[in-house]
Chains A and B, each alone.
Chain A
Amino acid sequence: MNDTGLAVSNLATATEELSVSVWRGDQSGGRFEQFTVPARQNQTVLDVVAYVQQHIDPTLTYRFACRVGMCGSCAMMVNGEPRWTCRTHVNNATKENRLEIAPLRNLPVIKDLAADMDPFFDKWVGAEGVHHPSRSRHDPIAPIDPTSAHRIEASEGIECINCAVCYAACDTVAANDDYLGPAALQRAWTLYNDAKDDGRAAILEAVSGKGGCHNCHSQGGCSHYCPNELNPMKAIAGLKRATTASFFGRKGNS
């Protein structure tokens, strides 16, 4: 039997059921609503959310795009932990056949499972997580040595998909509204080490303010939950070193 035939067979014989608790509401408040969905052998948390929306309640609001772990738009709290739902297998997330799905922590809710990402991206800009051109289009492209220490540091962080899982996992973000958060700070560290970026002083200035990298307690929730296995905590430690060196008037490792 080919893949398609197997999938159809699974659909036809699905008798097991899964109880799903989905958060419904908006900024003014909300509550968990119970749904019963078919339990498949192979399904992601996003599949479950989509099933609820397509077969039970079409008013359920959630966000997704690529479904393959590229776009970073489908992150939610699954049984209290931040996950990229399109790449999270239900069997790996359920606890005692229970699945609780909620909008991302530490962000305002737009509706149901869709969190408002504005504060998250505003902080990217706040951390100078923007390109600072060093050359114009008329100049030759800057040569990049992939083996240089700076490039290796930069390359460690470039696979960030902006899913905000680390932001939702961070207890410092939860406790400190001003804190820029792990994703924005990792982006700042990546650009700081990028030979094509000319904003080092601006970056160090941006991450040295009252919401900057020095608020990180190195609890490591960001690195633990990052679905791409990046290490924002290490990036933040790098920023702490660079700002400290700058504080004492040294150029540091720049």
Chain B
Amino acid sequence: MLDIRLYMLQRITALIMAPLTLGHIAVMIYAVQGGLSADEILARTQGSIWWMLFYGTFAIAVALHGAIGLRVVVHEMLGLKGAALSAFTWLVAAGLAALGLYAVMAVTA
């Protein structure tokens, strides 16, 4: 159900998310200090490849990490297994990635 590949993928995505989360919180706190408006923030993020990479990486890491975690919960609590469990994992990963990347594109593209 959770073999070493999924285990490692979940731990590695956690390692990626940890500094990105700290960076995200730090930027949020910094950005509101001077009273920046939404338009002013978007002016800084849109067209920035760095912010796109920052939040794009974040969104993909969240999608993989969350999908593996929910896979475990759904298997152990609801008894889902086999192909249905794999389908569930991929659907959650794809859904989270789509939602996350959609938001990233809206802010940085």
Q: Which positions in A face B, CB cutoff 8 Å? A: 172, 175-176, 178-179, 208-212, 214-215, 240, 243-244, 247
Docked pose: A178 CA to B76 CA in angstroms: 11
A210: B residues at CB distance < 8 A: 1-3
Would B76 and A175 count as touching, CB distance under 8 A? Answer: yes
In the complex with contacts A244-B8, A247-B8, A214-B76 CB distance below 8 A:
no
- The answer, among B1, B4, B11, B76, for a CB contact under 8 Å with A208, is B4
Q: Are B3 and A214 in contact (CB under 8 A)?
A: yes
A206–chain B nearest beta-carbon distance, Å: 11
Count, A-B residue pairs, CB within 8 A? 33
Which one, B1, B4, B7, B11, contacts A178 given CB within 8 A? Answer: B1
* Residues of B close to A208: CB separation below 8 A: 3-4
Is there a chain A Cβ closer than 8 Å to B77's Cβ?
yes
Number of interface residues of B (CB under 8 A): 12
Interface assignment of B75: CB less than 8 Å from any CB of chain A? yes
Known: A244-B8, A247-B8. A214 touches B77 (CB 8 A): no
For A175, give the chain B residue with the smallest CB separation.
B76
- Nearest-Cβ distance from residue A17 to partner chain B, whole angstroms: 42
| Cα(A175)–Cα(B80), bound, Å | 11
Q: How far is the CA of A212 from the CA of B8 in the complex (A)?
A: 13
Closest to A179 in B: B1
Bound: A219/B75 CA distance, A = 17
The CA of A215 and the CA of B71, in the complex, are separated in Å by 12
Q: Which residue of A lies closest to B4 (CB)?
A: A208
Cα distance, A247 to B75, chains bound together (Å)? 25
Of chain A, the residue at the smallest CB distance from B10 is A214
Chain B residues with Cβ below 8 Å from A215 are 1-2, 72
Within 8 Å CB of B2, what residues of A? 210, 214-215
Task: State the Cβ distance, A169 to closest chain B Cβ, in Å.
Answer: 16
Contact status B75-A214, CB under 8 Å: no
21 examples of A-B residue contacts, CB within 8 angstroms:
A175-B76, A176-B75, A176-B76, A208-B3, A210-B1, A210-B2, A210-B3, A212-B4, A214-B2, A214-B3, A214-B4, A214-B6, A215-B1, A215-B72, A240-B7, A243-B4, A244-B4, A244-B8, A244-B11, A247-B4, A247-B8
